[in-house]
Structure 1
Amino acid sequence: MRRSVGYGLCVAVVVAGVVGAQQTGFVRTVLQDQELSVADRHGVTTRAEIDPGISSGRHTHPGEELGYVAEGSAFQVLIDGKPPQMLKAGDVFFVPANTVHGGKNVGTDKVKVIGTYFIEKGKPLSSPAK
């Protein structure tokens, strides 16, 4: 139990840092953070809301990202080493661990993306690209 409480506090601090560093027009909300049966990993599910013309900025995650565009008509995903992807509601995407990427709402309506991440315990959900 002690380890679980300590881990939960660590996650809360990391999430607060990520949320506090967000830009206007981009809001990422953690919906779930769950320990997994895979050693040293946990699963995080988020909802990102992105206003028209706003970008997530180039960043990485310490684990894989599975994304689902829940709302919006023009969400551009840029993953280093791959051609740009233009997505709309109902589309999915995948970002390998530690890969620099970003997303931008290039449409006129708000975009909502559900992301699921399988990340290393003790690491931040997201880090700006170098």
Structure 2
Amino acid sequence: MIDRRSLLRTGTAAAAGALGAASLSSPAEAAEPASRTGGHPADPDPTAGVTRTLLQEHPSPAAGWEAVQTLVQIPRHKESGRHSHPGIEVGYIIRGDVLMVFDDRPPLRLRTGDPFFIPNGVIHNARNVGTVTTMMLSTYVVDETKPLVTTYP
């Protein structure tokens, strides 16, 4: 698990590196062509260059919860890595094309201008499948006692 306070203070490639410690979810996926996975098959670090920048953080009206907003940038052929959050994520694709892959449901193709919602605890991975660096605005309402992001191999 990643300490939210550390992650939010850094907001740079170092935080993205910690965020992206996870790899593709299965050896079969790793062998698929780049067009299916969003990364290059031989890429040793599919999360390199992913950044999450803290924009704002505020206490929620509900005790024990807080609202956190970030700008997530995912370079071409890269991905966020499999992860979850201790609360909901409400997002918007500012620029780019993403294949949002979930452990428990079909993938969701998102393009510039598309909103998205990820329920509490759902494991997901945002893969840039477009031609530019993807920019996503992500707002979380999360348990303030837990790390913002938990990564999975």
TM-score (norm: length of structure 2): 0.72
Which stretches of structure 1, 4 residues or more, deviate above 6 A after TM superposition?
none
1:3-18 aligned within 5 A: 12-16=5-9
Aligned-residue RMSD, C-alpha: 1.9
Report whether the alignment pairs 1:128 with 2:122.
no
Q: CA deviation at 1:17?
A: 6.7
CA contact (8 A) 2:11 2:51 kept: no
Paired residues of 1:18 and 1:125 also in contact (CA < 8 A): no
The match for 1:46 is 70
Deviations 1:25-62 (A, max 9, x none): 20000100000111110000000011000000000100
Q: How does 1:28-43 map to 2 (within 5 A)?
A: 28-43=52-67
Paired residues, number: 120
Distance 1:51 1:17 in 2: 19
2:100 is the alignment partner of 1:77: yes
**Contact 1:66/1:93 (CA < 8 Å) preserved in 2?**
yes
Structure 2 unaligned runs (5+)?
Answer: 18-47
**TM-score, normalised relative to structure 1:** 0.84
Q: Determine if contact 1:11/1:122 at 8 Å carries over to the other structure.
A: no
Q: Secondary structure at the match of 1:25?
A: coil
Task: State the identity as a percent.
Answer: 33
The AA in structure 2 aligned to 1:83 is P
Q: Which runs of 5+ in 1 are unaligned?
A: 1-9
